[in-house]
Amino acid sequence: MSATILPGAPHLQYRGDALYLEDVRLADLAREHGTPLFAYSRASMLSALAAYQRGFAGRNAKVCYALKANSALAVLQVFARAGCGFDIVSGGELERVLAAGARGSDIIFSGVGKTRREMRRALEAGIHCFNVESEPELEVLSGVAMETGTRAPVSLRVNPDVNPLTHPYISTGLKGSKFGIAHKEALRAYQRAAALPGLRVVGIDCHIGSQITQVSPYLDALDRVLDLVTAIEAAGIPLQHIDFGGGLGIVYNAEQPPAADALWQRLLARLDARGFGERQLMIEPGRSLVGNAGVCLTEVLYLKPGEQKNFCVIDAAMNDLPRPAMYEAFHQIVPLQATTAKPVTYDVVGPVCESGDWIGRDRKLAAQPGDLLAVLSAGAYCMSMASNYNTRGRAAEVLVDGATVHLIREREDFADQVRKEKLLP
């Protein structure tokens, strides 16, 4: 008998009393590789990607995985082999996707603070385009391109001032955001880009936020972007592609985000109605491809009763799972071995010396020291934001493919952490 425990993670199931990821019992992984441990389902990633591919069937469209969500080389290989392009935001991410087998022409370079060195390296790699986020960046990029004897392909990221109805920290399309060029300034910025000798205008980009669970913000942003496309092309600046960013949410708890194919049926219908259905489309999903594919396995260290709270202290911490501390984010926490014992309400916390080091508040768990737990929906913005705070080594990572397990990152030890440090003479 099996039962899926999270609507967004069909490859994570209890079989009898044991929790499995695909065909691998997670308790076996924890015993073999230790904890904390991140485990990812290849089938879950490809299933999430397939929803986008169904939505774009018959269209001139390119899915570019936003690797800031999870930049493990093996994860990048999975998407590269499945035909994805990549959305990067740093020179380091550029080197990662190239190391994973991507071609330069499959890469879009986003981000508000690109350095001259990063621009030069991206031009050498022959990337598809830069998503430029300010007019000063246009000037610098044009100069760098001229120094290298090339013309940089550019798409301007436009800020449509649309509320994505998500957490303020991951809302990127409002007037107060550091991202993008203001909607009312976009036409003038495009005219400036078209006049600069080192640039070649190829598209327009929009990204309004992350963990979006409703369709209406996408439709509002699409209309505002298409209004701009009409105005820009009327000014004599043709745009080859429309890049609509990413941001589609996943299920952490009780969210009900639209399926990727259903979302794009709505958006494509609007594009068709406005006469843009044949335009090349690009999108940059991240979390929605990997978030529900991953779990973090952790061991219960201590149960600490208190006057106001009971604490379940685990060996995973905010350096491994930063989202709760950063965003007060919710992750389901479940046992690797189901039990009928009576649950107790705990705050689940880590060993890091910070009051903000909590993973879940007021969770009902029947736990004992030595028990193993899984923190769900941990495939995105966990290991990619992990740190060595408190001189804690970053966790190991494994990729599950059916009954096969690949170790894709070894656990860090102390020597790994201090390798680049120097003692005083």
Residues forming CATH 3.20.20.10 domain(s) in the chain: 110-285
* 238 marked among binding-site residues: no
pLDDT at 171: 44
- pLDDT, one tens digit per residue, over 314-362 is 999 999 999 999 989 999 999 999 999 999 999 999 999 999 999 999 9
- pLDDT, one tens digit per residue, over 49-85 is 999 999 999 999 999 999 999 999 999 999 999 999 9
| pLDDT of 378 over the 50 cut | yes
* 381 marked among binding-site residues: yes
Residues forming CATH 2.40.37.10 domain(s) in the chain: 2-41+291-418
pLDDT at 307: 86
Average of per-residue pLDDT across 93-110: 97
pLDDT band at 217 (very low <50, low <70, confident <90, very high): confident
Topology (CATH) of 110-285: TIM Barrel (3.20.20)
CA–CA distances in Å: residue 53 to residues 85, 279, 287, 345, 391: 13, 17, 16, 42, 42
Given the residues 129, 312, 353, 382, select the one marked as catalytic: 353
- pLDDT, one tens digit per residue, over 389-405 is 999 999 999 999 999 99
pLDDT at 86: 98
- pLDDT, one tens digit per residue, over 245-284 is 988 999 999 889 999 999 999 999 999 999 999 999 999 9
pLDDT at 275: 94
pLDDT at 175: 53
pLDDT at 177: 61
Phi and psi at 285, nearest 5°, equal -70, 145
- Rounded Cα distance, 362 and 326, in Å: 18
Lowest mean pLDDT among 194-203, 213-222, 226-235: 213-222
Per-residue buried b or exposed e for 225-242, using 16+ beta carbons within 10 Å of the residue's own CB = bbebbeebeeeebebebb
* 111 marked among binding-site residues: no
* 247 marked among binding-site residues: yes
As a whole number, the mean pLDDT across the chain is 93
pLDDT-above-90 percentage for the chain: 86
**Residue whose pair of structure tokens reads 């929803």 in the numeric block:** 51
**Residue whose pair of structure tokens reads 């509320």 in the numeric block:** 163
pLDDT at 21: 98
| pLDDT of 168 over the 70 cut | no
- Rounded Cα distance, 67 and 51, in Å: 18
| pLDDT of 46 over the 80 cut | yes
CA atoms within 13 A on the CB side of 186: 29
pLDDT band at 163 (very low <50, low <70, confident <90, very high): low
Whole-model pTM: value is 0.94
pLDDT at 174: 45
Measure the CA dihedral 411/413/418/419, to 10°.
-70
| pLDDT of 414 over the 70 cut | yes
* 285 marked among binding-site residues: yes
* 257 marked among binding-site residues: no
Which tokens belong to 281? 């489309």
The domain 2-41+291-418 is placed in CATH, from the list 1.10.1060.10, 3.40.50.410, 2.40.37.10, 1.10.760.10, at 2.40.37.10
- Rounded Cα distance, 209 and 128, in Å: 23
pLDDT at 1: 46
Total Cβ atoms within 10 A of residue 368: 11
pLDDT at 207: 87
Active site residue 296: no
* 59 marked among binding-site residues: no
pLDDT at 166: 47
Average of per-residue pLDDT across 378-389: 97
